[in-house]
Amino acid sequence: MANSQLSNTDIADALEELGDLYELDGANVHRVLAYRRAAKAVRNASVSVAALAREGRATELPGIGKTLQEKILALLDTGTIPAAERLRAKFPPGLIAITRLPGVGPKRARLLQSELGIDSPEALREAALAQRLRTVRGLGPKFEASVLEGLQEMSTRPAGRPAPRILLPRAIEIGEALVTGLRERAGGDAHVQLAGSVRRQTDSVKDLDLVATTTRPAELARALGELEQIESVTSAGESGARARTHSGVPVDVRIGAPEQLGNLLQHFTGSGEHNAALREAAVRRGLHVSEYGVLDDATGITHSCATEEEVYEHLGLAYIPPELRENRGELEAARLQHGDGRRSARRAAEASGLPRLIEIEDIRGDLHSHTIASDGHNTIEEMASAARERGYEYLAITDHSASHGFGNDVSPEQLRHQIELVREANDRVEGIELLAGSEVNILPDGSLDYDDDLLAELDWVIASVHTSFGIGEDAMTARMITAIEHPLVNAIGHPTGRLIERRAPYAVDLGAVFAAAARTGTLLEINANPDRRDLSDIHARAAARAGVSILIDSDAHRTATLQNMRWGVATARRAWLTREDVANTRPLRELLRLGKRPHGSRAALAEQARQ
């Protein structure tokens, strides 16, 4: 059946399924990846891909050529893609269902069918319970356990794909486009601002909250449906509107009068836990707080607040930064003594127990970056120049070591040459100090994959786990502590190995890791890659409380991703960290006084710093 109203999510799902079917059929890996890249481009598109295809413009999207545009048009015209129909006919429906299980996918589904004749979820469950899966080369007891868990989830969740959470940078990109569009269409006195979890700078987002104030609320609500990013509007009125973007993100716009901006912004920034605790604390003072104002029981007056500072002031609290609003002790810390509430917001915060949170401007250097020597995209000098333009005083070049497991690694001989290249570039590039370093893989026994003599030639060593994630908590903890105790390791990179919304942290006793890092002076990283943000905010706060010095790094693989530092600072702010908690807010000489005695050419500089 023709359906020109298919959403971007529908089209992306169809292309993703086609890629899975081709992989199940044993197609060339490049063909499979092409469909998956196309599905991602469609899913992330901010406008209707169906409309683009009808106009012959879907090829403007990355990864969409004329052939894929024709397949999209066929899907719109007939409700299916002929190639997908042909491939579906080749396989049992149950085998296709198996491919959608976490950890299975088309490749393993083919293996299970060829080795054990498994062609349905029911047959897969029976084989897992009988412990037959572990008889297949490359599989084992852990795979059997994960299959049974996945089958259980499949049987309990609703049909269809769940709406995915999106990472913070993408949420901001979509949200800011909506804010700009509403401001342009509403005009006049309209104020529109992002709120919700985006404003709290969470790792990922399931929906977008916008707060707007205007004297023409109905006009602003109607404007939401006119934006090219909006697929559908479910409700619209003077108090707000609800909609969904073409990329599948729910949007909630709340509208109030200009004098209520502070109340609206505070309430719809959340979090729910913070607001619930705030309401309970307000009731104890004879007050009731909501998006409409602060009602005083004693006078019967509802106070409308133009700013959030006024809201918190009415409640006897210093202004609480959005990143801290998670009900993790911020209300107790923000409580002011009698009479303090009339101070300026800054003076009130200083009078409270709230920390003065780190700012992006506090960062003085970046100690984790990659170049074309491993899997980066720019040269040493290009990375150095870009870091200098960001105002950094130092940059460590830390290409991957010999066994990190992803190719494009640096052999010991190549690393010796890389050290020379970094030192030569350091002499040429003015205005920034370059450190010759390496991101060294931590092997399963905790040893490193360069010998100590070579490591001693480096200025900076950041050690990370890149392989063997499933060795168990005790083994992983021992592995990490062994690396932490190595005298030539300056820092541990992305310490839990998580990939947000894609891979859970590996099992490790972080309390023991934090204790070892504090004892040895080893820095622990907040990796600012928005896919990682590792350490997380909760773990970074615990590490700092344990006496660990924190490092925020971009893990940049190209000049543009040096700006990832923004997301690491956001994590640090959510972790209550100040400038003093973060090592690379210091000048290089001061940084070198922290932790372990430096090695390489930095040793002489550090010695000068100590004198």
Residue-wise pLDDT for 267-289, tens only, equals: 999 999 999 999 999 999 999 99
Return the pLDDT at 160.
44
DSSP state of 336: P
Return the pLDDT at 606.
55
Which of helix, strand or coil describes residue 174? helix
Return the pLDDT at 347.
58
Which of helix, strand or coil describes residue 260? helix
The residue-averaged pLDDT of 172-181 equals 96
Return the pLDDT at 115.
87
The bridge status of strand 293-296 relative to strand 550-553 is: unpaired
The tens digit of pLDDT for each residue in 350-382 reads 667 899 999 999 999 999 999 999 989 999 999
> Would 418 be classed as within a structural domain?
yes
Question: Average pLDDT of the chain?
Answer: 89
Domain containing 466: what range?
A: 365-610
> Would 283 be classed as within a structural domain?
yes
CATH number of 279's domain: 3.30.210.10
Which of 256, 284, 315 is the last residue in one of the domains? 256
Instruction: List CB contacts of 542: < 8 A, sequence separation 6 or more.
Output: 510, 511, 514
Does one domain contain both 494 and 584?
A: yes
Return the pLDDT at 1.
39
Return the pLDDT at 608.
54
CATH number of 197's domain: 3.30.460.10
**What is the distance, to the nearest Å, from the Cα of residue 344 to the centroid of all Cα atoms in its chain?**
34
The tens digit of pLDDT for each residue in 425-456 reads 999 999 999 999 999 999 999 999 999 999 99
What percent of the chain lies above the pLDDT cut of 90? 64
Q: How many domains does the chain have?
A: 4
Which of 294, 318, 351 is the last residue in one of the domains? 351
More confident residue, 519 or 337: 519
The residue-averaged pLDDT of 228-248 equals 91
The residue-averaged pLDDT of 40-45 equals 85
Compute the distance between CA of residue 96 and CA of residue 21 in angstroms, rounded to an integer: 8
Provide the token pair at 545. 């409380």
Does one domain contain both 430 and 553?
A: yes
Q: Of 48, 40, 41, whose CA–CA distance to 62 is shortest?
A: 41
pTM of the model: 0.83
What percent of the chain lies above the pLDDT cut of 70? 92
Q: Which residues, listed in sequence order, are joined to residue 248 by a DSSP beta bridge?
A: none
Does one domain contain both 341 and 469?
A: no
Does one domain contain both 567 and 506?
A: yes
- SS3 string of 56-124? CCHHHCCCCCHHHHHHHHHHHHHCCCHHHHHHHCCCCHHHHHHHCCCCCHHHHHHHHHHHHCCCCHHHH
Token pair 């940078």 is at which residue? 169
> Residue 253: is its pLDDT beyond 70?
yes
Token pair 């891909």 is at which residue? 49
CB atoms within 10 A of CB 601: 16
Which of 351, 380, 400 is the last residue in one of the domains? 351
Q: Which residues, listed in sequence order, are joined to residue 303 by a DSSP beta bridge?
A: 294
Return the pLDDT at 303.
93
> Residue 22: is its pLDDT beyond 50?
yes
Does one domain contain both 549 and 466?
A: yes
Q: Which residues, listed in sequence order, are joined to residue 434 by a DSSP beta bridge?
A: 395
pLDDT band at 2 (very low <50, low <70, confident <90, very high): very low
Does one domain contain both 240 and 306?
A: no
Q: What are phi and psi of 596, to 5 degrees?
A: -80, 160
User: Per mean pLDDT, which range of 289-298, 403-412, 521-530 is the poorest?
Assistant: 403-412
In angstroms, how far is the first alpha carbon of the chain from the final one? 80
Compute the distance between CA of residue 59 and CA of residue 457 in angstroms, rounded to an integer: 50
Compute the distance between CA of residue 264 and CA of residue 305 in angstroms, rounded to an integer: 9
HSE (side-chain half, CA atoms, 13 Å) at 58: 26
Contacts of 46-50 with CB under 8 Å at 24 or more apart are 46/174, 46/177, 46/228, 46/229, 46/245, 46/246, 46/247, 47/228, 47/229, 47/246, 48/8, 48/228, 48/231, 48/246, 49/8, 49/11, 49/246, 50/4, 50/5, 50/6, 50/7, 50/8, 50/11, 50/76
Return the pLDDT at 20.
86
Return the pLDDT at 130.
87
Compute the distance between CA of residue 47 and CA of residue 230 in angstroms, rounded to an integer: 7
Distances (CA, A) of 467 to 443, 444, 530: 8, 8, 21
pLDDT band at 36 (very low <50, low <70, confident <90, very high): confident
User: Per mean pLDDT, which range of 230-239, 286-295, 333-342, 479-488 is the poorest?
Assistant: 333-342
Return the pLDDT at 311.
96
More confident residue, 595 or 572: 572
Does one domain contain both 402 and 504?
A: yes
> Residue 291: is its pLDDT beyond 50?
yes
Return the pLDDT at 408.
67
CATH number of 89's domain: 1.10.150.110
> Residue 89: is its pLDDT beyond 90?
no
> Residue 329: is its pLDDT beyond 90?
yes
Distances (CA, A) of 37 to 41, 246, 341: 6, 18, 54
Instruction: List CB contacts of 420: < 8 A, sequence separation 6 or more.
Output: none
Distances (CA, A) of 256 to 63, 216, 262, 266, 308: 42, 10, 10, 13, 14
> Residue 237: is its pLDDT beyond 50?
yes
pLDDT band at 336 (very low <50, low <70, confident <90, very high): confident
Return the pLDDT at 341.
46
